Every structure is written in structure tokens, then in C-alpha cells.
Structure 1
Amino acid sequence: MRPVPAANRYDAVLIGGGVMSATLATMLAELEPDWSILVLEKLDTVGAESSDMWNNAGTGHSALCELNYTPAGPDGTVDITKAVQINEQFQLSRQFWSHLVEKGVLAAPGDFINTVPHMSFVRGGDVEFLRARHEALSQHPLFAGMEWATDHATIAEWAPLLMAGRDPGEQVAATRAQAGTDVDFGSLTKQLFAGATKEGVELLTGHTVKDLRRRGSGWTVVGESSAGGFEVATPFVFVGSGGGALHLLQRSGIPEGQGFGGFPVSGQWLRCTNPEVVERHAAKVYGQAEVGAPPMSVPHLDTRYAHGTKALMFGPYAGFSPKFLKKGSLLDLPLSVRAHNLLPMLAVARDNVSLMTYLGKQIVQSMEQRIEALKVFYPDARESDWELLTAGQRVQVIKKGPRGGVLQFGTELVHAGDGSVAALLGASPGASTAVDVMLRLLAQCFPAHQDVWRDRLQAMVPSYGTKLSDDRELLTTTLTRTAGVLKLAA
């Protein structure tokens, strides 16, 4: 590891070594091979915070099973608008990854993506909601083939653990999409950076960025490493450092960052230690969130693949920590409070009492209570078969709203009017939509390059600029191609 950056000036500096920066670095290296690109990561390795597989759900978020993406109105009608949008975004990721596999940048797709059916599972009064959701989604080309079941035998065939020990008279329902995926974003991040560095991208770990200072039309990036301080100049900065992005956005002083705050939510998982139980389950099963729970706390029983080894997890269980990163500081939250975001943050606290109550209950849960939550999905679960892990830290976006402030779930791309700096805030479905987010960043921050880049971007992502759901032939071709290249179920 070099103690300081090799040059004093770079064409682009990317802060953070997660999947977002890895995606952008890979794109820029292909779009502009002559550019000098520097990536700075404060930890000793990349992909170790929210991108690490044990710190996120690993769901290839395409709205096949996530019930919070399909809200029901007062009349019971299910709105699938967000589900379609998220599925479209994930298809962009599949196309880009396929392009990189064909180029040899991503050598073994099975090291980061595998087919795992996506299921939704509900009980009692939620059955009619799931029925309406299935009817609405199954008519859309992106969700064609989604299966529906209410009988115990069929659901037991799909996911045996769900029915093991369950009361035969209990009313249940499930949907299944067999082409769902599990993604190890940590492995993907490492592979992307390995390919990017071969193309000339400079990656420095153990380098912490402390400040962003305006320098004419560009920026000076100020930081420190074990060898001392450093400064580099650049016309463009991307802040993709997860929860740490808010502090650097504030340090930049751009007016577009005014009013933004963050609400950190931590999490925990149960991981199965019994290989026999692990082998009996092969699906990602999502249920309904508790009242007041944040969307990333939707309970799910998940099959995972870690470097080819199958695993089984349940959770997440929400918690609270003032840290903005798993390896962050207890002062992260208080130091993020500014005069310009105080009102939005107070308004969010006022309007989200149910969320605060929910988090309080989650924090004081015992292991026995966690197992009881698991038994909603797996009635025969035994505490001795599970261990508790700490998941990654998420920082939900707080911004100005009609009532003073709003707590936003999802991601927010904030950039200066001149496009010289951009920061990514927020969380799920983040990693799954990295390609869509970076395509938007390129369009918003480099508008003068779009005509030159268009053909190159379409080579990376063939459906770039179009919606797959508007072109059935292109959709079929794309799904078939990406499934073949990535070795997934069609």
C-alpha cells in the first residue's frame, strides 16, 4: 500500500470502497480509459461495510418478494409502480454484470450471484392482500410466471421449513418466483475493483478522507493515512462511503446538501449452525413487517451462498446505534446535526413515534424472543441451531418535507449544480440498483459527455435509455441472455 496517492491531481476521485464506487470506477475506466481515477477507502480492504455479504440481505432486489414495494390502498388495490421500477433497475445490473463476465472482468458468476427462488409468505388477514398483489404483478411482463398457493402441501414443497410443525388449520398463502437471485455484494465489489485496477484505476485502502474543499471549479480532497496527511486535486468527486457520505456532503458546503440529515438503524441476524436445517431450505422468503418497522426490517428467511457454500439466515432484528458505519464513531449522529437540518430531524422524530417504539422493543429483545419471531416462519426452529450476528449499519435519509421533514427509505443521489461533486445517501435497495444509480450520476454530472458515451453505455447495458417492460421482445432477449451469461434460471 502506498502511503499517499501517487499523483497530486486526478480526473476523478471516488471516496469509499463499496459496491457503488466499484461500479462507477469500472464504468469510468471503460468510458474514459485515459482518465486518472483514484479510489480512497479508509478500511484495510474493500467491500467490508454494507457491501459485505454478512452485513446485508443479499437479495437481488427486484420486487419479486418484497411486500413493502407494493402498498395497498384503502380499497385494497395494490400499487405496483415501485415494484416495476425496482425490477427495471435490477435488470440494468444484470446486463452490466453480464457485459463484464463476457469481457472477463468477472470471471466466475457463481462467486457472486446464484439462483434462489423469491417467495412472499403471509398468514391470516394478509392472505387477501397477497392475492391482490399476485393478481396485479402476474399481469405485468416483468413478473410473468409468478406462482400462487394457499394449500399447505404446495407451500411445503416450495419451502419445507415454513410448514414443518405448523397448525394444519392455519390460513396461509405464498407466492414464488423461481428466477430470483442471491447476490454476494462483497465478492462482487472485490472482483470489480480487481478488474478496475487492471484498467489503471488507483485504489488505496487505509486512507481516510477528512474534508472536501472547493478549488476553483474543482475540489481538493484532504485526508490522512498511517503515513500522514495527503491532498489531491480533482474536477470531480463521488462520495460513496455509505453512512459516512453525509458528513462529507456537509463538509463540501454545496447548497444542494442543505437540509439533509440521517437516522442510523443497526441490525442483527440469526444464522443457522445446523447443516441439516440449512439443506432443507432453498428460497428467500419475505413476510410482512411489524407496525412501525422500517422497510429494511421486513423479516425474511434467507438462503445465502458464501463463496459457493450454502447458508441460512433469518432477520433482520432492528436496533439503534448513533454510528453511521459499522466501524464508525458514537459521535456520528450528534456531529451530523446542523442548523439547516435540525428542523427536518425534529419533525421526523415527531412524526415517527411508532418507529422509535419499535426500535426500543427490538433493542431489549432476548434470544428467546428472537426465536419466537423466527417460529412465525419456521415453527420447528430450535434455539440451539442458531447464532446471533451483527449486520451492517444503515443511515436512512432525512430531508425537508411538507411538515418540516420526512424520513425517506431508499437511496438519494445529491449532486452540485455544476456536477463536480455527488454523494449517495440512504440504503435498501441500494446495492441491487447500483448500475441504475451510477447511470443517473453519469447523466447528471457529465451531461456534455452523453453523446460520446451513449454507444459505449449501450454496449455495457443494451437496454440503456429504454424500459424493458415497454418492449416485450427486448425483455425476453435480455432475460434469456443475462440468465445464460450469469448461469441463472431463466
Structure 2
Amino acid sequence: MGSEHTTTAKPVVPEEIIDVVLIGGGIMSATLGAMIAKIQPDWSVVMFERLGELGAESSNAWNNAGTGHSGICELNYMPDPDDPAKAEQIGGVFHLSRQFWATLVEDGDITEPASFINPSPHMDVVFGDRDVAYLRRRYDTLRELPLFSAMEYTEDPAVIADWAPLLMAGRGRGEPIAATRYEAGTDVDFGALTSALVDVMTNGGAQVRVRHEVAGLRRGPDGTWTITGRDRGAKRRFTVRANFVFVGAGGYALKLLQRARVPEVRGYGVFPFGAQFLRTDNPDVVSRHDAKVYSQASLGAPPMSVPHLDKRVVDGQESLLFGPYATFSTRLLKHGRLIDLFTTVRMRNMAVLLAVAIQNLTLVGYLIGQLVSTRRRKFAQLQRFYPTADPADWYLVQAGQRAQLVKPDSRTVGVLTFGTELVTAAEGTIAGLLGASPGASTAPAIMVDLLARCFPHETTRWEPLLHRMMPAMTTPIGAEQHHVDDNLTRTGQILGLAS
């Protein structure tokens, strides 16, 4: 997983002013870099990644569930079954992502779309009268919208067994059960996608520096940024200057923005979550499940902890994942340091962090319960989905680390958020992305927003190029059924998703 880009391009000298520096070698930096390669190919771009390979943190295929988040199966996007606003917004944005990726394939920039995206129906399954009533109402709301009109609903166990045989094998009779299904869902290997996007960058002249850890950011009187850090391979310091900096460093983004003295993040903090999954590669099991099946989160669980049984395709190999099971560490990256969390604590955010801790005692209790949970208890949760699961087929894997954003709040002092936030500052010369899901699936839309906010003087010139790559920028997907259908058909054929 991850790209093995080396430092063979000409070295960057301190006196050179780079147009764009990208900090972090994940999906966000790669998306922005590929976009710039298409719309402004004469700009100098350098990416710095602290690890020895790209896409090795949150973007890595085994560090996330690989869901092409489109609002179809994520019940946490729609706690009120009558309010589809967030699900509809994310669904429309994912169509924009499909268009961007399809254009890169169509232009010959990416040659093997099956290396990063594959068809995988998106489903929900719920148990018990209350959740069945909720899912039925949610379906009734969504089916009226063009983005979700192809969704199916059933309370018939035989139909559910046809959609996902593992869910019903060995299940007792009598318990109310319901499911929805959307056939045009996707499984995305964001690590492979990151590698493909970085190839688009480097083919356009961008440079990649792996094993380069950025430690400092300072803005000079001329408006340029001096970036300092350590070449972990050569064990020496480096310094470069840049006109624009994007901090796409995952859990380290806040720390770097704090060091850059960006006022927009004053009072901000982070709360780290990790996750484990149960995984099986047994072909006899994997061949009987061809979907991503989500359900309701446990009481007190954070929104991104909804249980799901997922079909994964990574490097051509099919597997199943079930989880997540929450873990906790003071590391802000999977390959980070135990002191990471403490390096983000400031006088301005101490009260905010304390307020959030007090307000989320139920969440704290949930995390403690997860941490002390035995393997037998974890496996029992899988058997709620897959009653005849054999423990011998499954093993625990550690997934990625997420740094959820904690923000000041005028009413409650602090609030814990579960989305993503783009921060821009210093007259648009620096930007950073904070938070977690559904960021990877919506990266193209986030980067279009970044370009508009940070380079307003270039907007008129860039718009035709961006609109060619992503027609939904001018004709939003979601308002008309034929736009949804046409885009699914066109991008599906280009990306190899059409049956």
C-alpha cells in the first residue's frame, strides 16, 4: 500500500520559492496536487511526507473501511429520519468525486481504475421494532429524492438473505428485521487512489519528499512561508520557502497550524480515537458477502463507530471487515508518538477540552467499555450481523487513528465535532484540513472550496478547467433524476463500475 516515490528529482534549495508545498502524503494533499497539475501545470509543487511511503496513515486501505461515503448507508448522517439534508449533501458531493476520478481516467492520467474503486452495494440492516420503524421512515424520506430513488427496502428475511446471505444464515425467527439496499455503492482503496493521484502530480513535474518531517512554519514579512523540518533518511535538517502551504497531515494538522500561529485555530483541540476490525480472508466466507452493510451505533458510541460488515478489495484480494471497535491512544497518527496529544494542549484550549470531557461522559464510558472488551465479546457483536461466524476464520487488525476536532463554543465552552473542517488563513496563503470522516470520499469538493477561498484571483481562469473535470460544479447532481442517472451511467462506465 502506498506509493514508493523517491527523491530522484532535482533537490530544492532554500533560496528557491516554491509555489505550493503540500505537507502530508495522503489523499487530501494528493487530490490538491493532482488538481493543480491539471489547472496550473507551470506551478512548482513539492510534497513532504514523514513516513517512507505515501498514503500510509488514514488513507491506507486497512486503516479505514473503504466506503465511498455517499449518504446511502450511513445512518449517523440522518439521526432524524425526516431530515435528509446531510445525507443529500454528501451524496451530491460524492458524485463530484466520481466525476473527478473519471476525468483523470478518461484523460489517461489514471490507467487502472479497478486498482482503487470497485462496485459494492451499500446496505443498512436493523433489528427490533424501534429501529425497523426508523429505517422504514428514513427510506420513505429518501426514496423521494433523485439521489436515493434507486434504494430498495424490505422486511422480508428471504429478500435480505438474497441480498446478503451471511446476515440470515442461522438466524432465529421472530425478531423484527429490516434492510435497505443501493446497488450502485462503491468500495474505495484510498491508499491506491492516493498513489495514482501522486503519479498525476509527479508526471506534471511535482516533487515528492518521503521521510521528510515538517516541524516548523513561519510566515515572513514578504508573505512567503519558511518551512523547516528533518530529513529522516539523511538525518539532517531542511528548509524551503513557499508562497502557499497546505497542511494535510491528518492528526498532526492542528499541531502544525498551531506552530504556524494561525489565529483561526485558537482554542481548537483534538480528541484521538483509534479502531480495530475483525478481518477474514477465507474465500468460502468472502464469496458469500458482496456488500457494505451498516447498522445503528451502540448507545454512547461516537457517530463514526456504527458497526458494519464490509466487502473489501485491496490489491485485487477480496476480504471482509467487521467493526469498528474503538481504541484509545495519545498518538494522533497510527505511526505517531505517545506525546502527540499533549503537544497540542495550549492555555487557550484547556477549558475547551475540559468542557468537552465533562459533556461526553457517556462517550468516555463507551470507550472504557470498548478498551476492556474481550475478544469473545467483540466476536458476539459480529455474530449479531453474521450468526454462524466461526472464530477460527477471523483475526483482529488495528486500523487508523483519527483526531476528532474539539472547537470553542459560545454556549457550551467546547464541542466535539465528527466531520471535517477546512481552515484558511493569512490572506489565503495557508490552509489545513482538520477532523475525519467523510473527508476522503469528498476530497475533490474540499479542494475546489480551498482553491476558491485561497486563490480568488485565479477563479475566473480556472473555472472552465474545473468544470470540465467536474460538470456537477455547474449542474449540481441531485436536483433532477436524469442528472443522477446520467452521471452514474457515464462515470460507472469509465471507472469500470457498470455491470
Q: Do the two structures share a fold, i.e. TM-score over 0.5?
A: yes
| Equivalent residue in structure 1 for 2:320, among 312, 316, 319 | 312
| Equivalent residue in structure 2 for 1:413, among 410, 419, 422 | 422
Residue type of the alignment partner of 1:324? L
| Equivalent residue in structure 2 for 1:91, among 83, 95, 100 | 95
1:101 corresponds to: 105
The answer to whether the 8 Å contact 1:371/1:382 transfers is: no
- CA positional deviation for 1:344: 1.3
Ranges in structure 1 where 5+ consecutive residues have no aligned partner: none
Instruction: Render the CA deviation track for 1:393-445: whole Å, top value 9, x for unaligned.
Output: 00100001120011000101111040000010110111000011111111111
Residue type of the alignment partner of 2:226? T
Q: CA 1:345–1:377 in structure 2 vs 1: closer, same or farther (change >3 Å)?
A: same
1:22 corresponds to: 30
CA distance in 1, matches of 2:351, 2:445: 31
The answer to whether the 8 Å contact 2:22/2:29 transfers is: yes
Instruction: Render the CA deviation track for 1:277-324: whole Å, top value 9, x for unaligned.
Output: 111111100000011111121100000001222111100100110100
1:436 aligns with 2:445: yes
1:183 corresponds to: 188
Residue type of the alignment partner of 2:26? G
The root-mean-square deviation of aligned C-alpha atoms, in Å, is 1.3
- TM-score, normalised to structure 2, is 0.96
2:84 corresponds to: 80
Corresponding residue SS for 1:57: coil
CA distance in 2, matches of 1:119, 1:471: 24
| Equivalent residue in structure 2 for 1:356, among 336, 361, 364 | 364
- CA positional deviation for 1:466: 4.0
Q: CA 1:58–1:442 in structure 2 vs 1: closer, same or farther (change >3 Å)?
A: same
Ranges in structure 2 where 5+ consecutive residues have no aligned partner: 1-5
CA distance in 1, matches of 2:281, 2:35: 39
Residue type of the alignment partner of 1:6? V
- CA positional deviation for 1:78: 2.3
The answer to whether the 8 Å contact 1:178/1:489 transfers is: no
- CA positional deviation for 1:5: 4.3
- TM-score, normalised to structure 1, is 0.97
- CA positional deviation for 1:61: 0.1
1:468 aligns with 2:458: no
CA distance in 1, matches of 2:475, 2:428: 24
| Equivalent residue in structure 2 for 1:484, among 468, 471, 493 | 493
Instruction: Render the CA deviation track for 1:46-87: whole Å, top value 9, x for unaligned.
Output: 011000000001000001111001112xxxx52110000110
Q: CA 1:2–1:474 in structure 2 vs 1: closer, same or farther (change >3 Å)?
A: same
CA distance in 2, matches of 1:30, 1:273: 39
Instruction: Render the CA deviation track for 1:162-207: whole Å, top value 9, x for unaligned.
Output: 0011112111000000000000000010111112101101111010
CA distance in 1, matches of 2:482, 2:369: 50
CA distance in 2, matches of 1:83, 1:151: 25
CA distance in 2, matches of 1:197, 1:89: 26
1:128 aligns with 2:133: yes
The answer to whether the 8 Å contact 2:27/2:191 transfers is: yes
The answer to whether the 8 Å contact 1:214/1:220 transfers is: yes
Percent of aligned pairs with the same amino acid: 51
2:205 corresponds to: 200
Corresponding residue SS for 2:134: helix
Corresponding residue SS for 2:136: helix
Corresponding residue SS for 2:311: strand
CA distance in 1, matches of 2:391, 2:486: 46
2:12 corresponds to: 6
Residue type of the alignment partner of 1:169? G
| Equivalent residue in structure 1 for 2:225, among 215, 219, 226 | 219
Residue type of the alignment partner of 1:144? S
Corresponding residue SS for 1:487: coil
Count of matched residue pairs = 486
Matches within 5 A, 1:58-457: 58-72=66-80, 77-124=81-128, 125-216=130-221, 217-225=223-231, 226-227=233-234, 228-401=236-409, 402-457=411-466
The answer to whether the 8 Å contact 1:254/1:416 transfers is: yes
2:54 corresponds to: 46
Corresponding residue SS for 2:301: coil
CA distance in 2, matches of 1:417, 1:40: 21
The answer to whether the 8 Å contact 1:5/1:230 transfers is: no
CA distance in 2, matches of 1:274, 1:102: 35
The answer to whether the 8 Å contact 1:271/1:313 transfers is: yes
Corresponding residue SS for 2:170: coil
Residue type of the alignment partner of 2:436? A
> Comparing 470-479 with 142-151, which one deviates more in the overlay?
470-479
2:3 corresponds to: none
- CA positional deviation for 1:273: 3.6
Corresponding residue SS for 1:10: strand
CA distance in 2, matches of 1:473, 1:157: 29
The answer to whether the 8 Å contact 2:273/2:328 transfers is: yes
- CA positional deviation for 1:6: 2.1
CA distance in 2, matches of 1:108, 1:71: 37
> Comparing 467-476 with 84-93, which one deviates more in the overlay?
467-476
